[in-house]
Amino acid sequence: MSETRDGERIAKVIARAGVASRRDAEKLIAEGRVAVDGKVLSSPAYNVVPGQTVTVNGKPLPEAEPSRLWLYHKPKGLVTSHRDPQGRTTVFASLPASLPRVISVGRLDYNSEGLLLLTNDGEIARRLELPSTGWLRRYRVRVHGAPAQTVLDRLDQGITVDGIAYGSIKATVDKVQGSNAWLTMTLREGKNREIRKVLEFFGMPVSRLIRVAYGPFQLGQLEEGAVREVTGKVLREQLGIKKPEKADKPDADKPKPAPEKPAREKPAREKPAAARPAAKPKPRTGNADRRR
């Protein structure tokens, strides 16, 4: 991402380096863990210009790598955080060791499962989490009970629960099995435990919640616990990220052009057989010649 003449906000620089999301970067600054050219910052209202050295916890900020994005099928029973006060296993402790340091795009709570996006770019995470991005999040939800049409209509109009206003939630009933029902629910914002809270408000506790899509990215047949990277082409198409430019090599490193091959001379064309002089016939030898 290009920098303005006055530089970039410190939190954005930290997020772009993949160290933390912009929100978490602001927390690091408030805790006095971020410094620029050796001076500890106390406010995120600071612009970094080229040539300055940023450190987090005393370590220089790593150079920004190309933006990358992964799809992860989160199993039930994992916490979407780097540390858990209760000592529960986290998503990040369960990822393959081959992955670089990543942060999640939004969260799925401990008992929820399904598609979780992971990225090495905190700025991408922030962009994808904003409601203004307009990306729909789709879930399959199993509840105890079968919602009436009046309930579905109220969800569509938006609802306030315990003083928290929730936006429109599109919900359809897919299947009713005895005292349970499977719903497909689609929303744009995704506040903390939003689906569970609004359905419990209507007396329908959630027994299973699976996120199956986040914007254009689908869970599909990705196996539980598996990770798949989104290709650079798809990432650029969906997020408008420019392809990183390759630096030009010095002249000495550039391959020298192959010497031009001299033009091959065309062989002289043979004269037609009719134009050739006739060959002289060889003299015939008889028995008399052999007796000599």
**Which residues are tagged catalytic?**
109
Cα separation of 34 and 14, whole Å? 9
- Helix axes of 122-129 and 22-30: crossing angle, nearest 10 degrees: 120
Position 21, amino acid: S
Tallying the residues shown for the chain, one arrives at 292
Residue 195: both structure tokens together? 């689906």
Beta carbons of 219 and 114 less than 8 angstroms apart: yes
| CA-to-CA dists, residue 78 to 20, 91, 272, angstroms | 20, 6, 88
Q: Tell me how many degrees the CA angle 112-99-189 measures, rounded to the nearest 5.
A: 35
Cα separation of 194 and 34, whole Å? 34
φ, ψ at 245 (rounded to 5°): -80, 140
